[in-house]
Amino acid sequence: MKYINNKFTIEKISVETVAKKFKTPAYCYSYSKLKENVENFKKNFKSFAPLICFAIKSNSNINLIKEIKKFGLGADVVSKGELMAAIKAGINPKKIVFSGVGKTNDEINYAIDKKILLINAESISEIKEIEKIAKRKNKRIQIGIRLNPNIDAKTLSQISTGKKENKFGVNNKTFFEIIKYCKYSKYIDLKCLSVHIGSQILDHKPYEKTLKIIEKILEKTNHNFEFIDLGGGMGISYSDKSKKLSYVKYNIAIKKFLKRNKLKVIFEPGRSIVGNIGFLVSKITYIKKSEKKNFIILDAAMNDLMRPALYGAVHKILPSIKKSKNSKKPCEFVGPICESTDKFTLIKNFQELNEKDLIVICDVGAYGMSLSSNYNIRPKPVEILIKGSKIKVIKKRQMYKDLI
């Protein structure tokens, strides 16, 4: 991803070429960036060889999941649909964990039939539901319990999940009750303690604190867990000024923990694997000048990329062709949808732009396409995977006949 002769280029393909071939808006993913992210992730934690379960909800394109599977990753799923996608992509069910507070009877049944590694339960009621189904099938089911460690992950409040006011996991007291309950159950095999404290975490300290809390809890019980599932949440840099999560420090904390607690580690990364591999290419439909700023009206909208409207997230926007002349007024990049939240970002010093120019919205590989909708009966964009000078359509643009 760099400018070659002033043209924004993903591997060996310029976004101009993409737009010409596939129209806009278009989601483009870089294969080599994906590979680099996976290799980096593995390298950071290689001393204890964790099971890395890719969080499917961050990007559920089946062809991308197939590539991720080839790197040996498992999957973290949060619905039957995601579980079906993971299995269809060829991921070994023994590398799949199922999270979420509201798994239905149908979803649990399906997960049990597929013999996945773990159902990470989040309440006593859910455990009883799993037990009921297991009893009927006369099977013993491996589960995890998700602990709510009451930790501030120091991220956006909308994507914090480990505080006591969040719906996720169970508190210490319930955790001990569940351990006791499972001890006497013929059908439940409690194998794992799981946590996931939030997303886009850039500070290692909340992770350190979580490990300390887990350690205390493990000291108080004599239950033999086999796994510790530390969830995902590792943040990425959405801006050049952003701080960076220290994998080195996180790794040190885990290694210290593992010295005293012999457990197999599971991770559930989503964003850190796919976030920075994705680019949304969009064309400027109109430029509307106002007193204080120019509205750059794009053909991409909040239905294609919801993160800005949903959490006030800011994505870097870059021109497809670099020019030296600057726009006289600040540029606000907006979509065509009839909602005031349908805007991406305001940039003070952007280069001069013209109608029909292309721009690139960066770092949209995670929670981009997977959060997209058909609001305003807008067809979802095409998704393409770029590998060197090769382009592969991994999902076709939706057609109006699919929608109407």
For tokens 């012999």, what's the residue? 262
Residue choice 30, 37, 160, 199 for contact with ligand PLP (CB under 6 A): 199
Closer by beta carbon to ligand PLP, 82 or else 129: 82
Q: From the CA atom positions of the chain, what is the Rg in Å?
A: 23
Residue choice 9, 14, 30, 58 for contact with ligand PLP (CB under 6 A): 58
Q: How far is the CB of 289 from ligand PLP (least distance, A)?
A: 39
Residues 3 and 16: their CA atoms lie apart, in Å, by 12
DSSP 291-330: SS-EEEEES--TTT--HHHHH-----EEESB--SPBPSS-
Closer by beta carbon to ligand PLP, 55 or else 145: 55
Burial of 138 per CB tally in 10 Å (0-12, 13-18, 19+) = exposed
Q: How far is the CB of 58 from ligand PLP (least distance, A)?
A: 4
With contact defined as beta carbons under 8 Å apart, do 269 and 276 qualify? no
Residues 102 and 84: their CA atoms lie apart, in Å, by 17
Q: What angle do CA 171, 173, 178 make, to 5 degrees?
A: 90
Q: What angle do CA 355, 356, 360 make, to 5 degrees?
A: 105
State the virtual CA torsion across 169, 170, 172, 173 in degrees, nearest 10: 180
By CB under 6 A, the count of residues binding ligand PLP is 18
In 225-297, where does DSSP find H-type helix?
Answer: 247-260, 271-274
Q: Which is catalytic among the residues 28, 53, 338, 362?
A: 338
Which span sits near ligand PLP by CB under 6 A: 33-41, 53-61, 88-96, 243-251?
A: 53-61
Residue 144 touches ligand PLP, criterion: CB under 6 A:
no
Neighbours of 365 (CB within 10 A): 30
Q: How far is the CB of 337 from ligand PLP (least distance, A)?
A: 25
Closer by beta carbon to ligand PLP, 11 or else 76: 76
Residue choice 25, 270, 278, 381 for contact with ligand PLP (CB under 6 A): 270
Query: Which pair of tokens denotes residue 192?
Result: 């794992």
Residue 99 touches ligand PLP, criterion: CB under 6 A:
yes
For tokens 């058909």, what's the residue? 374
Helix axis angle, 62-70 relative to 80-88, nearest 10°? 60
Residues 263 and 245: their CA atoms lie apart, in Å, by 24
Residue 192 appears among annotated catalytic residues: no
Residue 196 touches ligand PLP, criterion: CB under 6 A:
yes
Alpha-carbon distances of 119 from 76, 142, 199, 316, rounded to whole Å: 10, 7, 21, 37
Q: How far is the CB of 158 from ligand PLP (least distance, A)?
A: 12
Q: Which amino acid is at 4?
A: I
Nearest to 384 by CA among 17, 33, 22: 22
Residues 61-80 interacting with ligand PLP (rule: CB under 6 A) = 76, 78
Residue 384 touches ligand PLP, criterion: CB under 6 A:
no
Q: How far is the CB of 275 from ligand PLP (least distance, A)?
A: 8
Which span sits near ligand PLP by CB under 6 A: 24-32, 266-274, 285-293, 320-328?
A: 266-274
In 195-266, where does DSSP find H-type helix?
Answer: 205-220, 247-260
Residue choice 57, 80, 204, 283 for contact with ligand PLP (CB under 6 A): 57
Q: How far is the CB of 101 from ligand PLP (least distance, A)?
A: 10
Residue 278 touches ligand PLP, criterion: CB under 6 A:
no
Residue 271 touches ligand PLP, criterion: CB under 6 A:
yes
Residue choice 10, 38, 55, 284 for contact with ligand PLP (CB under 6 A): 55
Q: How far is the CB of 195 from ligand PLP (least distance, A)?
A: 9
Closer by beta carbon to ligand PLP, 77 or else 309: 77
Closer by beta carbon to ligand PLP, 13 or else 116: 116
Residue 233 touches ligand PLP, criterion: CB under 6 A:
yes
Closer by beta carbon to ligand PLP, 162 or else 335: 162
Site mask, ligand PLP, residues 358-377, x = CB under 6 A?
Answer: --------x-----------
Closer by beta carbon to ligand PLP, 64 or else 366: 366
**Catalytic annotation, residues:** 338
Footprint of ligand PLP (CB under 6 A): 55, 57-58, 76, 78, 99, 196, 199, 231-234, 268-272, 366
